[in-house]
Structure formats: C-alpha cells, structure tokens
C-alpha cells in the first residue's frame, strides 16, 4: 500500500504554546482513518497543516508525495470540511453547491442532489437562518460529493440529529465501497464511528498516543472484574490503565490478555469485560467518563 | 455487533450461522464484502477479514470474478466444529449458574428434557441422518 499522507517530526508552535509536538505518522491510501482526541489535543491543527492552511514550525509533510503548501496539484485532490465553516453573509446553500465544482474536479452533481434530498436541506434559505445541524449537513454533502481522493471531516456533525448522522455513515460506507478514497474523520462520537474506521490515530496534548488498526486498538485492553483480592492476585504487577471499585469489588482495566491468561482469570472466577475504543481513549487520555461525554 | 470479540470474528460467525440455519445453501453465493459492510455498518476491510477467515477454514471458496460461494460439505464441517465447542460455551456456564442457584443435576436434567426443542434444519437433519 502507498501512503497518501506522510508526516515526519512535525512540530507547530503558537508563541510559547506547542500545539503539535514532534509528530510522525502515515495515512495509507484508501482507508478510513479516525483522528481522535480531546478538545484542544491538536486534531484541527494537524488537519490545517496537512491542507496547507497553516505553516509547520518544523518537520516535513508530504501529501500525495508533495508539500501541500500553495500546491494546486495537492489541494485539488483534497477536501477539508471544517467544523465551523463560514460563508459569505448573503449565501444560500445553492450558492455553495454551485461553486463547489470550481474547487473539486471530481465533483459529482447527481450525487450531491441525492444527498441534498437525503438530508432534506432547504436550498433557497439564507445560510445564516439555517440550524446548526443543517449547516453541518452542507459540509457533509460537499465532503461526500467532492469525491476528493483525500477528504477530511473535522467534527462534521455538530447538531446533526441521529437520523442524519446515520445517513452520513451509510452514505460514507456505500460510497467508499464503490469508489475507495482516503477519508480522515475527526470526531468525539467515538463509539458511533468506531466500526467504520480501519485505522485510528489518537492525539493527546500534541502527541500521537495511539496509531494502530482499529481492530487491534479495540482488542488492546480488557477490564477484569471480581473480588478485590482475587483481581489483585491475578493482575500481579501488571500495568494498570484504570481502576474502579465498589465495596469488595474491583474493576481494573489492563492491556491485552493472552488465551491462557483469560482461561486463568475465568478459573479464578473473574469476569473479563471488553473495553470499547471510546473507553480505551478515555483511559489513555486520563479523564473521567463524565468529563469526556460533556465535551462531545 | 457486541464489543466483546473482534468484529471480523463476529461477521464470520454470522455467515456460519446462516449456513447452519440453511439461509445460505451450499454452493450458493454469499453477499459481497461491500454488502456485508453496508448491512452491518462496518469498514469493508473488516468485513473482508471476516470472509477471509472462512476462506482459510475452507467454508467458503472464491470463484474468480464472480464472488464467494459456500463450499459443498461445509455445513457438516460447521456442525462438527460447533458440537465440539458446545460443552465449553453452553453446558459449562449452564452448570455453573445452576450450581450458584443450588439447582441439582437431576433438576437440571429434568428442566432440559421438559424444554421444548426449537425446530431447526439441524434438528431435522440429525433426526434422520447422522451428521457426525
């Protein structure tokens, strides 16, 4: 497989603040990547750097093998759907869809019309008067219909209702299956998208803390539940990601367990519970569940 | 999809179940990777991994340019495999739970014999011809 994006030792500082701290990763062609992390972790900054909207302090960025900065060949093949895209004051959605083909050579007008009907987007209303969800729908439609070989969605569904989010997931998968492309999806709704992702990249405080196949990330932690003494005896000196307990019961999240270890746990009367991608990221970025959900 | 096992393993099991239930007949074509991905809302690469698991275990085979098919005889193969797992996956937890509740072995046996069997193709077939 060839890499669409190659980043090495990328650093971005804003004054004294280091937003991106010596980050290296690659994005393989035609995969759906999840770019995950807490607010302020540096996800949007990375996407801005990859799309040439900002300049790196140091390090190297290759998109389709070239630097994206002021590079029409790269940017014509790239679509970046921003979290809060701004439009000219008197713009209506149809203006957006009429101008989109100027920027995206692969624009598929028929597909755009289909999506507009799916999302029930009013074309002739001023964008200022649209709801937050309808505004997000515009971005999702542009992103999908752009058919750009490299498409970034930064938190694409703020305000989108559950039905509209499901439409987005279904359309994305359907289109991806028919015409594979590289998609980088940044979101807080990790549980909702985790099955769509082939690869996850988790950023925390400007550094990459997880960079692996989604399937491997999902299987990389287990929660052991049982009487405190038995749990501690089983875990020994193993590294603990998270610990919870009530009464004499302990619930401890640790790294992956081997087959024999799982059997030993079962024999000791301990229960093994899976750890979802979202929980894993919460454990690894050291926040409580409630804090994380509020930020979503 | 549950979280406890890898998704591709669950996809493979789902196809196995469809073969066991007779939904997918032997020598019939199974849905494409993309169809599985759309139906279960998962990444096509994950669906492909599940299908490949069954190709490796000789349950499915590929007809070049057409798609994946259920191999003749795979049903018997799967029944044999599932029977081997039956004690570990079903009987052991059942006995453990019964012990927790103080249900004796006799009581448990009586309960099982009084529970009506569900009519399934496997039950019908094993009734007349011995699969294993």
Phi, psi of A8 (to 5 degrees): -130, 130
Cβ contact B37:A173 at 8 Å: yes
CB contact under 8 A, B41 and A31: no
Q: Nearest residue on chain B to A277, judged by CA atoms? A: B3
Query: In whole angstroms, what is the distance from residue B24 CA to residue B22 CA?
Result: 5
Mean pLDDT (whole number) for A181-196: 90
- Best residue in B1, B3, B11 for a mutation probing chain A (most A CBs within 10 Å): B3
- Best residue in B35, B43, B52, B100 for a mutation probing chain A (most A CBs within 10 Å): B43
Cα distance between the two ends of chain B: 31
Question: Is the model's pLDDT at B125 over the cut of 70?
Answer: no
How high is the mean pLDDT of chain A? 89
User: Tell me, what's the pLDDT at A111?
Assistant: 95
Query: In whole angstroms, what is the distance from residue A264 CA to residue A122 CA?
Result: 60
Query: In whole angstroms, what is the distance from residue A177 CA to residue A166 CA?
Result: 16
User: Tell me, what's the pLDDT at B1?
Assistant: 64
Q: Which of B6, B38, B46 sits opposite A219 (nearest CB)?
A: B6
Got the DSSP string for B46-87?
A: HHHHHHHHHHHTTSEEEETTTEEEEPTTHHHHHHHHHHHHHI
User: Tell me, what's the pLDDT at A39?
Assistant: 86
User: Tell me, what's the pLDDT at A86?
Assistant: 87
- Cβ within 8 Å of residue B61, ≥6 positions away: B55, B68, B69, B71
**pTM given for the model:** 0.81
Q: Read off the pLDDT of residues A57-86 as tens digits, 9 standing for 90 and up.
A: 999 999 999 999 999 989 999 999 998 788
Query: In whole angstroms, what is the distance from residue A213 CA to residue A197 CA?
Result: 8
CA torsion sign for B115, B116, B119, B125 is positive
CB contact under 8 A, B8 and A177: no
User: Tell me, what's the pLDDT at B62?
Assistant: 93
Nearest Cα of chain A lies from the Cα of B69 at a distance, in angstroms, of 20
Percentage with pLDDT > 90 across chain A = 57
Closest CA to B57 of B70, B45, B44: B70
Chain B contacts of A276, Cβ < 8 Å?
A: 3
């Amino acid at each position: 497989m060839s890499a669409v994006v190659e980043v090495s030792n990328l650093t971005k500082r804003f004054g004294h603040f280091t937003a991106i701290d010596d980050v290296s990763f690659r994005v393989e062609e035609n995969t759906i990547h999840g770019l995950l992390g807490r607010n302020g972790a540096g996800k949007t900054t990375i996407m801005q750097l990859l799309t040439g909207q900002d300049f790196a302090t140091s390090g190297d960025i290759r998109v389709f093998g070239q630097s994206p900065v002021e590079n029409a060949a790269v940017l014509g093949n790239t679509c970046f759907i921003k979290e809060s895209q701004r439009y000219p004051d008197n713009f209506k959605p149809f203006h957006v869809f009429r101008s989109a083909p100027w920027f995206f050579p692969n624009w598929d007008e028929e597909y755009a019309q289909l999506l507009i009907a799916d999302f029930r987007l009013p074309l002739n209303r001023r964008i200022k008067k649209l709801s937050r969800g309808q505004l997000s729908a515009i971005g999702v439609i542009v992103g999908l219909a752009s058919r750009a070989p490299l498409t970034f969605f930064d938190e694409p569904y703020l305000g989108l209702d559950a039905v509209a989010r499901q439409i987005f997931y279904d359309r994305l998968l359907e289109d991806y299956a028919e015409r594979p492309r590289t998609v980088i999806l940044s979101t807080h709704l990790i549980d909702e998208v985790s099955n769509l992702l082939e690869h996850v990249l988790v950023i925390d405080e400007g550094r990459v803390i997880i960079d692996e196949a989604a399937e491997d990330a999902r299987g990389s932690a287990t929660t052991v539940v049982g009487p405190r003494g038995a749990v501690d005896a089983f875990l020994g000196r193993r590294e603990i990601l998270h610990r919870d307990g009530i009464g004499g019961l302990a619930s401890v999240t640790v790294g992956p367990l081997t087959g024999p270890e799982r059997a030993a746990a079962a024999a000791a009367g301990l229960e093994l519970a899976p750890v979802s991608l979202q929980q894993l990221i919460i454990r690894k970025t050291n926040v409580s569940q409630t804090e994380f959900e509020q930020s979503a | 999809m549950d979280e406890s096992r890898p998704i591709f393993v669950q996809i493979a099991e789902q196809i196995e179940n469809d073969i066991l239930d007779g939904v997918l007949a032997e020598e019939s074509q199974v849905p494409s990777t993309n169809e599985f991905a759309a139906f279960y809302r998962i990444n096509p690469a994950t669906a492909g991994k599940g299908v490949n698991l069954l190709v490796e275990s000789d349950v499915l085979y590929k007809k070049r340019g057409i798609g994946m098919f259920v191999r003749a005889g795979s049903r018997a193969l799967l029944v044999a495999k599932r029977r081997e797992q039956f004690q570990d996956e079903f009987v052991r937890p059942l006995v453990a739970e019964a012990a927790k509740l103080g249900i004796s072995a006799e009581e448990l046996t009586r309960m099982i014999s009084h529970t009506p069997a569900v009519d399934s193709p496997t039950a019908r077939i094993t009734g007349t011809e011995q699969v294993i």
